[in-house]
Chains A and B, each alone.
Chain A
Amino acid sequence: MADPILDIRGLSKSFGALKATDDVSLDLRPGEIHALIGPNGAGKSTLIKQISGEIAPDAGEVVLRGRSLAGIDAAGRARMGMARSFQVSSVAPEFTVLQNVVLAAQGASGATFRFFRPVMRDAGLLQTARDCIAQAGLSGREAVPAAELAHGERRKLEIAMALALKPALFLLDEPMAGMGTEGATALGDLLDALRHRAPILLVEHDMDAVFRLSDRVSVLVYGRVIATGTPDEIRTDREVQRVYLGEEA
């Protein structure tokens, strides 16, 4: 088996008496979509924030390509290729689609403190940005301000920005939230293709999408991973059925 791109070892985080993350270990291997599911309040977002570096864990570590990320902040992790999308889509609303993606390409380039040349005439950044926009399926919308995009398009913009970061992995927090069936299917197809660029750790509530796309699924309940396995294994897991899927079955 290939070495994991992302390896999470014994991660724990408490807020007062609440154990939001309780000794979580999981990994993300090349080419896979690893879904993270769990009921509301299971600690999925807290876990994602520890991986992305927005909050620091109390114990345990996050290892990216064999390198511990302890002490590296969210910006540093992004530059190492951790491409994140947010639960509530997060872009620069006044910027156009193109400007948003150029910003991401600029971040990946690591050269922000340049004061003279106009950034929107930087052929290298523009080329990268246009490629990423095309891959995310937003071609033709470059000049539209992000604030005027439809919800689904803003999701795609986040994907385009993630692509511009030269991702080592994608960290996608509910990318399909709030999308209609059609939009979710289209986005699912996009994610399906993206896994070959970089593996995806996918937090998602849409169970159809999760079971259709994922290579592996981990179930998080009260901050603990109660099961990890293929979609079929998870579907038939007694414990999972009892605490989570059971509600629907």
Chain B
Amino acid sequence: MSAAEVTAVPEGRGGRMNRAQIVNAALALGLLGFGLVAWAMGETFLVTLATKVAILAIAGAGLNLVLGFGGLVSFGHAAYFGLGGYSAGILAHHALNYTPMFEWPFLFEGTTSMPVIWITAMVIGALAAALIGALSLRTTGVYFIMITLAFGQMIFYFAISWPAYGGEDGLPIYVRNGFPGLNTLDPVQFFGLTCAVLFAVLGLIAMLAHSRFGLALQAARQNRQRLMAVGIRPGGVLLVAFVISGAITALAGALYADLNRFVSPSMLSWHLSGELLVFLILGGTGRLFAPLAGAGLYITLEHLLGGVSDHWQFFFGLLLLGVVLFARGGVIGFLAGGKRHG
């Protein structure tokens, strides 16, 4: 679904799906089906792989809100992903080691409860995004890319040089954090939980894209001067989008830390920021399901090509080149057709 379609007048509400919706449904069912079949066949590793796709898709969905809809090329989204991861890691670390996190103003011993961890991660991601966004949004274009990268690197080096939480070695989470009513150590239950989060996030983004806020956000991508001239300041709209985006990506980071039961500075590295961008370019920037399509394709290729050659990224680079040169709409643009006008 192109950005313009997202807010298009609802037409043909007779129940027939358009091509983009069919592709989206196929992607969602494909992920669920793959995970469940792998589980039925006892392929735990593949269930974990599908879980990884779902989590990276959540992170990409956060980026898609600012990049796809707002037109902001953030090259520092690893910062929020990593902060989410460290939120999970640090809270669990204190709870599991029985070392209080702080004693004032009240005794807090950390937690292993996913809902609490998720909220903490999202609040921290949102705060970091508010701070970084408020400074970065003063710039545009390539300067915006560079300043977001710079902030990301600052947090990366901070994590490396802070020994209390593992520094360069990272921080293990001995037992995966818990969710009420679920056994999160069961791969398929954790997979189901991440899928539920993914679809909730995609639903949230679809709702935002169709709202008044979403209309202004998409206008900010196309023409900031025009947005000003109709009485809407692009800065505020973009900052709010950036904050929501940071919170979503941090949520993904918390889940990722729980998936690996480990958090390390690599979650904060610019490679990860780049991978998130690649997911969107592969999937089709600005399309709701682009992060799922992109992350799915990337992880699949990494798994398949990685088994054939250590230099799989060379072949992946060729694919990316092909997409950028010949299929600008990414996988979804290719399957669902270009922009459907009206």
Chain A positions near chain B (C-beta within 8 angstroms): 52, 54, 73-76, 78-79, 84, 86, 90-96, 98-99, 102-104, 106-108, 110-122, 142-145, 148, 161, 164-165
Contact = CB atoms under 8 A, between A and B. Distances in A.
B208 A84 contact: no
Given A95-B218, A113-B213, A120 B10 contact: yes
Given A52-B229, A84-B229, A145 B341 contact: yes
Given A94-B222, A119-B7, A107 B232 contact: yes
Chain A to chain B: the 10 pairs with minimum beta-carbon distance, closest first? A107-B230, A143-B342, A78-B231, A107-B231, A79-B231, A94-B4, A118-B210, A92-B222, A104-B230, A114-B212
A98 B9 CA distance: 9
B-side binding surface: helix, strand, loop or mixed?
A: helix
Given A78-B230, A103-B230, A106-B216, 11 more contacts: A78-B229, A96-B9, A98-B9, A99-B7, A104-B230, A107-B230, A112-B213, A113-B213, A113-B240, A119-B212, A143-B341
Nearest to A81: B231
Given A94-B222, A103-B216, A112 B237 contact: yes
Nearest to B209: A118
Interface in B1-46: 2-4, 7-10
A74 B223 contact: no
B207 interface: yes
B67 to A, nearest CB: 15
A74 B229 contact: yes
B137 to A, nearest CB: 15
B207 A116 contact: yes
A43 to B, nearest CB: 20
Nearest to A101: B230
B225 interface: yes
Given A78-B229, A103-B230, A112-B237, A96 B4 contact: yes
B248 to A, nearest CB: 14
B62 to A, nearest CB: 16
Nearest to B223: A92
Contacts of B215: 99, 102-103, 106, 119-120
Contact of A78 (B2, B3, B228): B228
A92 B219 contact: yes
B271 interface: no
Contacts of A94: 2-4, 218, 222, 339
Which of A73, A74, A91, A118 has the most B CB atoms < 10 Å from its CB?
Answer: A118
B211 A75 contact: no
